Amino acid sequence: MKQTLLDFSIIVDAGEERLANELKQYAHVIQKKLAVGDAVCSDRLVVERKSSFDFISSIFDGRLFKQAEKMRLFYEKPVFIIEGNIWNNEMDKSKAGAISSLIVEFNASIIFSDGIKETALLIYELAKIERSLGKKISFVNKKVYKDPVMNVLTSLPGIGEKRARLLRRKFKSLKDLFSADKEELLSILPKKEAESLYRLFNSSI
C-alpha cells in the first residue's frame, strides 16, 4: 500500500518547535521532552540537529561526544544533521577528526543540510524508510505501571515487560542491578542488550 501523508508519527523534542512545525507537513508529530536527540524516527534511529556554529562549539566544549555516547547507548543508529557550512572554504583537522570519531567510535551517520526545511525533509525520509523496514516507535504508547520499579526497568534500552520481570527475579534491588558486572547481565539478557545496559550503568553523568 502506498504511504500517504500523516501515515506515521515522528517524535520531536518539546524544545524543537520550529522543527516540529516543519515536520507537520509530512507526518504526524508528537512532541515530548526527549532525554536524547531532537527527533526519534524509530526504536533504533535518533536524530540530533545542529547548526554549523553549534556543531563547532560542541567539539571544543566536549558536548558533542557526550551527546553521541548517550545516543549510542539508547539507539542503534544515531544520526547528526548539520545545518550550514562548517568548513569556511578550508579543511580543519579538528572538524574532520570530530566527524571521523562520530562515524568510527559511535557508529553515527553525518548528513549536511542547507537549513531547517531540508532537515525536516531528511528526517521524514529517514522515518519513512524505517517504517518500510518494519521499524516502529514503541515509545509513543509506552505502558505506565502502578509499580514505580517496573516503570524504571522498562525505561531502560531494550527492556520490555518480560525482560524487566527477569531482572527483578535476578536482582534484589535497583542498586544491585545498577552495580552488576557484565557477566551477570549476560546471564539473563542477549549480548547486545546486556552490553548496552552495562555501558549505561557505568557511563559518567
**Mean per-residue pLDDT for 138-143?**
56
The pLDDT of residue 1 is above 60: no
State which H helix or E strand residue 82 sits in: strand 77-83
The strand pair at 9-13 and 39-40 is best described as: antiparallel
- Which one of 86, 119, 139 terminates a domain? 139
- If asked whether residues 54 and 151 sit together in one domain, one would say no
Residue among 165, 169, 137, 135 nearest 150 (CA)? 165
The pLDDT of residue 143 is above 70: no
- If asked whether residues 167 and 122 sit together in one domain, one would say no
CATH code: domain of residue 60? 3.40.50.10130
For 37-73, write each residue's pLDDT tens digit. 999 999 899 999 999 999 999 999 989 998 998 888 7
- If asked whether residues 133 and 148 sit together in one domain, one would say no
- If asked whether residues 14 and 94 sit together in one domain, one would say yes
122 assigned to some structural domain: yes
At residue 76, the 3 state secondary structure works out as coil
Q: Do residues 166 and 122 lie in contact, with contact meaning Cβ atoms separated by under 8 Å?
A: no
**Mean per-residue pLDDT for 6-11?**
79
- If asked whether residues 125 and 82 sit together in one domain, one would say yes
174 assigned to some structural domain: yes
72 assigned to some structural domain: yes
Query: Domain range holding 169?
Result: 144-201
CATH code: domain of residue 169? 1.10.150.20
Q: What total of structural domains would you count in the chain?
A: 2
Q: Do residues 44 and 158 lie in contact, with contact meaning Cβ atoms separated by under 8 Å?
A: no
Measured CA to CA, the distance from residue 56 to residue 45 in angstroms comes to 23
4 assigned to some structural domain: no
3 assigned to some structural domain: no
Measured CA to CA, the distance from residue 167 to residue 18 in angstroms comes to 40
- Number of Cβ within a 10 Å radius of residue 73: 18
- If asked whether residues 88 and 181 sit together in one domain, one would say no
The pLDDT of residue 141 is above 70: no
For 90-136, write each residue's pLDDT tens digit. 667 889 999 999 999 999 999 999 999 999 999 999 999 999 999 88
1 assigned to some structural domain: no
- Which one of 112, 139, 166 terminates a domain? 139
In this predicted model, which residue has the larger pLDDT, 35 or 105? 105
- Which one of 110, 139, 168 terminates a domain? 139
**0.75 surpassed by pTM:** no
The strand pair at 45-51 and 77-83 is best described as: parallel
